[in-house]
């Protein structure tokens, strides 16, 4: 199984970025997907999750209203549209996959992790 994240980069505060994660080696439609992030010196934290069909989404309080997670099961991809970015959003962003919705939301015991993509927001 591979989760290939892309789309990170350097952006000014207030700007936008779109992250994508392409999955291979699994039956994508059977998996809930999530995004997590880890800033330097901090623990990894949950950002957003989406269930297998895309009908249910869930966000951390820190990104709700600014970020939007979506998926395309035909293309085996999950995306994270990030708007109104803040310097505190700076982190390595990871996509994750698990068959269980609650596991992805908790971020503990998740089956598969991607390699991460760096997002840097300058003030």
pLDDT band at 108 (very low <50, low <70, confident <90, very high): confident
Give the integer Cα–Cα distance in Å for 85 and 109: 29
- 53-93: pLDDT as tens digits: 999 999 999 999 999 999 999 999 999 999 999 999 999 99
Q: Is 109 exposed, middle or buried (0-12, 13-18, 19+ CB in 10 A)?
A: exposed
Whole-number pLDDT of residue 106:
86
Alpha carbon distance 22, 7 (integer Å): 11
For residue 107, what pLDDT is reported?
83
Give the dihedral of Cα atoms 44, 120, 9, 15; nearest 10 deg: 110
């Amino acid at each position: 199984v591979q989760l290939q994240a892309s789309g990170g980069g350097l952006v000014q505060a207030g700007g936008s970025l779109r992250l994508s994660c392409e999955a291979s080696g699994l039956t994508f439609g059977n998996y809930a997907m999530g995004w997590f992030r880890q800033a330097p010196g901090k623990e990894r934290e949950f950002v957003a999750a989406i269930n297998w069909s895309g009908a249910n989404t869930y966000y951390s309080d820190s990104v709700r209203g600014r970020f939007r997670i979506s998926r395309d099961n035909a293309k085996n991809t999950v995306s994270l549209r990030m708007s109104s970015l803040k310097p505190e959003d700076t982190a390595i962003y990871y996509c994750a996959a698990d068959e269980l919705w609650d596991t992805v939301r908790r971020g503990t015991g998740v089956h598969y992790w991607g390699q991460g993509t760096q997002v840097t927001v300058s003030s």
